[in-house]
Amino acid sequence: MEVNKGKTQIEAVQKDIWAPEYFGDNPDLYNVHEVKRLVHLAPVEKVLNMARAHSIWPLGFGLACCAIEGLMAAQGPRYDLSRFGYEVLRNTARQADVMLVAGTVTTKAADFVVRLWEQMSEPKWCMAIGGCAISGGPFVDSYHVVPGVNKLVPVDVYVPGCPPRPDAVLDAFLMLRAKILDKREYLQRSKGKVVTG
């Protein structure tokens, strides 16, 4: 498009959102100020992160088999995710902190997976649970499957398994906690270790 020449990528995207058919061709609307996605104040951030890391609210959104293990059984009485403070399943994306992509993402579903991700407010994290969400799993050859959710959204934690055991999902939550708290030693320790089911 002519209008977007020489502008940064973010502005080009904003141009698409501020479509002229809705907002007229007022030039001011094209030149919106670039908003920093995250405002960093290091000491404050550290305190905030402690709060964030200990009450992650997952988005209650299951795609396939892994949702039974990763969402329901992990919430169930034996594995009991609420021990860590992660049990508040939010059914709307706007209140959630972490999106658990539990299952196969198909091309028909890809649209709304991205839309849900976009609806979530910052800061936000994403977990790919199970082989299908990591790489397409056994369905990678199919004509209707996205080979891995990382083609669509950035992923923080990968949980292998088909489906992973609930313990593996608990471990993934703890790894996410370490990631938010920036505990490198913790992550280093579990490097190369795989808990699967």
Contacts with other proteins, residue ranges (CB under 8 A) = 60-65, 67-69, 72-73, 76-78, 89, 91, 93, 103-104, 106-109, 112, 116, 136, 138-145, 147, 162-163, 165, 197
* C-beta separation of 155 from 128 below 8 A: yes
> Is 126 known to sit in a ligand binding site?
no
Query: At closest approach, how far in Å is the CB of 22 from other proteins?
Result: 22
* Cα distances (angstroms) measured from residue 61 to each of 46, 193, 196: 29, 27, 21
Query: At closest approach, how far in Å is the CB of 124 from other proteins?
Result: 16
Query: At closest approach, how far in Å is the CB of 180 from other proteins?
Result: 24
Nearer CB in complex with other proteins: 53/98:
98
Q: Mark residue 130 as left, alpha or beta (left: phi above 0; alpha: psi -120 to 50; beta: remaining).
A: left
Query: At closest approach, how far in Å is the CB of 101 from other proteins?
Result: 11
> Is 66 known to sit in a ligand binding site?
yes
Closest listed residue to residue 79, CA positions, set 173, 1, 150:
173
Nearer CB in complex with other proteins: 56/102:
102
DSSP state of 64: S
Dihedrals φ, ψ of 6, to 5°? 75, 5
Give the residue numbers of the binding site for [4Fe-4S] cluster.
65-66, 132, 162
